[in-house]
C-alpha cells in the first residue's frame, strides 16, 4: 500500500520546501521514499505523456505562494494520498516499470532538472532480461509484484500484479497527533 505520512519541511540553500514521506509496502516489505511536490509533478507529466493528457484524475494544483502552515501541508498531503490511490487503482499504470521505479528508494525526478522518465522500458526489460539500473540507481527485480495493499486482502492473480490501496483515515476524520508524526497516516480506504 501507499501512505503519505506527515510532510516535513526541509531547508536547503536558503530556500524551504516540503518533503512527503511515502510509506510503501511491496513484496511483504515496508520502506519509505521521500518525494517533493516537484517530483509528483514530473511523475504526473510522465503519466500524461504515456497515457494521454486526459487522465481520469489530476494532481493537486501547485500554489503560487509557498504555504507551509500545518493545515495547508495536511491539505496537500490528503490530496496527494487521493492522487496516489487513483494511480494505484489502474492496472495499466501499475504494470509500467517507470511507475514502479517512482516508488523505489533513491529515485528522484525533479521538474526543474533535465532528468526525466524514459519514454519506454529499456529493451532488455521488454525482452524479459535484466534491465540496466544505471539510470535509476536501484531497480526492483523483474519478478517483483508492484506495491501491494496494506489494508486489503491480496487477490491471487496468475499474471497480473495486485491493485494496491491507500490505507488510513477518511477525509475530514480527526488525526491523532499524539503519536510520532511518522505514525500519522493520511490516506483512506475505499
Domains by residue range for the chain, with CATH: 2-183 (3.30.1520.10)
> Averaged over 163-189, what is the pLDDT?
36
What is residue 3's predicted lDDT score, i.e. its pLDDT? Answer: 54
Highest mean pLDDT among 99-103, 128-132, 156-160: 99-103
Residue 21 in this model has a pLDDT that exceeds 60: yes
* Helix, strand, coil in percent for the chain, rounding step 5: 25, 15, 55
> Averaged over 121-129, what is the pLDDT?
36
Kindly report whether the global pTM for this prediction surpasses the value 0.85.
no
- Cα of first residue to Cα of last residue in the chain, in angstroms, is 13
Residues 37, 56 contacting (CB under 8 angstroms): no
> Averaged over 183-190, what is the pLDDT?
32
> Averaged over 7-18, what is the pLDDT?
60
Closest CA to 133 of 107, 114, 94, 103: 107
Beta bridge partners of 20: 35
> Averaged over 80-105, what is the pLDDT?
88
What is residue 49's predicted lDDT score, i.e. its pLDDT? Answer: 94
What is residue 2's predicted lDDT score, i.e. its pLDDT? Answer: 59
Residues 140, 69 contacting (CB under 8 angstroms): no
* Kind of pairing between the strands at 2-4 and 8-12: unpaired
Closest CA to 27 of 145, 149, 184: 145
Residues 79, 62 contacting (CB under 8 angstroms): no
With b for 16 or more beta-carbon neighbours within 10 A and e for fewer, the 64-75 pattern comes to eeeeeeeeebee
* Kind of pairing between the strands at 15-26 and 2-4: antiparallel
Q: For residue 38, how many other CB atoms are within 10 A of its CB?
A: 16
37 Ramachandran zone, left/alpha/beta (phi>0; psi -120 to 50): alpha
Instruction: Say how far residue 109 (Cα) sits from the centre of its chain.
Output: 12
Residues 143, 22 contacting (CB under 8 angstroms): no
Amino acid at each position: 500500500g501507499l501512505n503519505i505520512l506527515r510532510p516535513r519541511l526541509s531547508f536547503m540553500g536558503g530556500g524551504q520546501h516540503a518533503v512527503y514521506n511515502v510509506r510503501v509496502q511491496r513484496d511483504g516489505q515496508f520502506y519509505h521514499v521521500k518525494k517533493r511536490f516537484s517530483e509528483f509533478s514530473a511523475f504526473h507529466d510522465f503519466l500524461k505523456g504515456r497515457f494521454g493528457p486526459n487522465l481520469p484524475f489530476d494532481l493537486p494544483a501547485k500554489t503560487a505562494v509557498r504555504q507551509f502552515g500545518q493545515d495547508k501541508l495536511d491539505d496537500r498531503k490528503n490530496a496527494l494520498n487521493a492522487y496516489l490511490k487513483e494511480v494505484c487503482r489502474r492496472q495499466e499504470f501499475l504494470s509500467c516499470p517507470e511507475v514502479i521505479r517512482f516508488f523505489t528508494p533513491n529515485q528522484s525526478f525533479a521538474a526543474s532538472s533535465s532528468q526525466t522518465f524514459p519514454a519506454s522500458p529499456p529493451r532488455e526489460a521488454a525482452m524479459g532480461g535484466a534491465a540496466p539500473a544505471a539510470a535509476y540507481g536501484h531497480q526492483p527485480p523483474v519478478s517483483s509484484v508492484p506495491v501491494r495493499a496494506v489494508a486489503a486482502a491480496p487477490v491471487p492473480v496468475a499474471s497480473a500484479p495486485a491493485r494496491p490501496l491507500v490505507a488510513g483515515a477518511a477525509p475530514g476524520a480527526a488525526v491523532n497527533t499524539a503519536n510520532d508524526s511518522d505514525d500519522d497516516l493520511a490516506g483512506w480506504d475505499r
